[in-house]
């Protein structure tokens, strides 16, 4: 899909910049009163009680996950500074509210306007699984269940056919579904993969970051995946944040 260039004013989500919320220092945890098929858009940021088994088990759906989707255990690792959520100076012709995926540099930008954007570190598709073009957010889901698509099962027949939403689920705390494609912007149970080329084409953020982004977008938000020859990293520099 070709990159379409500047959008008309009707394509803008026209979302004003918002202060970065305090997401706290601890990991997100499952609620006791939400099942795997809860409402698509709610205020909870925890997983359902009937989530997939804990990573310590040696059987069940978790055992069938490939290495790049196995839940990480042990102390939580801190993201490198460049991949931490921050407001940066970012020049673009895209209107406020647009999400821009810079695959080569593993960044996601949410355009704020006035030459600024909120930047998140991401994990992107490995070689042969990257893509470019535009889509719109067609659905939003908290602690989504995972049904590996047929194409993925054909490549990896050992995958589980279903995993309930939860801490061990490869889709993490939130998912933004893109059009009618198989691609999603979602959380991850492997935060150390942020900044790497690891997925089958989906865009992954830490659970804290996807939960933050989830509050800043709506169904219909435009998503632009830039071609490989995107702007250099130096085009986006940290901004002085006053909020």
By annotation, the residues acting in catalysis are 186, 202
CA 162/CA 86 separation, integer angstroms: 35
For residues 204 and 153, what is the distance between their CA atoms, to the nearest angstrom?
20
Look at residues 122, 142, 116, 93 and name the one whose alpha carbon lies nearest to residue 20. Answer: 116
SS3 per-residue string spanning the chain: CCCCCCCCHHHCCCCCCCCCCCCCCCCCCCCCCCCCCCCCCCCCCCCCCCCCCCCCCCCCHHHHCCHHHCCCCCCCCCCCHHHCCEEEEECCCCCCCCEEEECCCCEEEEEEECCEEEEEECEEECCCCCCCEEEEEEEEEECCCECCCHHHHHHCCCCCCCECCCCCCCCCCEEEEECCCCCEEECCCCHHHCCCEEECCCEECCHHHHHHHHCCCCCCCEEEECCCCCCCHHHEEECCCCC
């Amino acid at each position: 899909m070709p990159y379409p260039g500047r959008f008309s004013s009707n394509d803008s989500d026209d979302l004003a910049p918002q202060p970065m919320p305090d997401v706290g220092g601890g990991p997100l945890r499952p609620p006791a009163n939400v099942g795997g098929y809860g409402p698509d858009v709610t205020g909870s940021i925890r997983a359902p009680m009937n989530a997939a088994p804990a990573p310590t088990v040696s059987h069940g759906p978790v055992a069938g996950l490939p290495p790049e989707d196995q839940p990480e255990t042990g102390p939580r690792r801190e993201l490198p500074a460049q991949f931490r959520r921050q407001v940066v100076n970012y020049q673009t012709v895209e209107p406020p509210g647009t999400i821009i995926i810079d695959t080569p540099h593993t960044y996601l930008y949410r355009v704020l306007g006035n030459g600024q954007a909120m930047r998140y570190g991401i994990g992107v598709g490995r070689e042969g699984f990257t893509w470019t073009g535009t889509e719109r957010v067609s659905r939003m889901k908290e602690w989504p269940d995972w049904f590996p698509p047929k194409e993925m099962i054909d490549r990896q027949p050992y995958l589980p056919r279903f995993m309930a939403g939860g801490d061990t689920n490869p889709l993490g705390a939130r998912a933004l579904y893109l059009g009618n494609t198989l691609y999603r912007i979602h959380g991850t149970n492997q935060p150390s993969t942020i900044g790497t080329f690891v997925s089958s084409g989906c865009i992954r953020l830490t659970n804290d970051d996807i939960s933050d982004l989830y509050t800043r977008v709506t169904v219909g938000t435009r998503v632009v995946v830039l071609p490989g020859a995107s702007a250099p990293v130096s085009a986006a520099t940290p901004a002085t944040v006053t909020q």
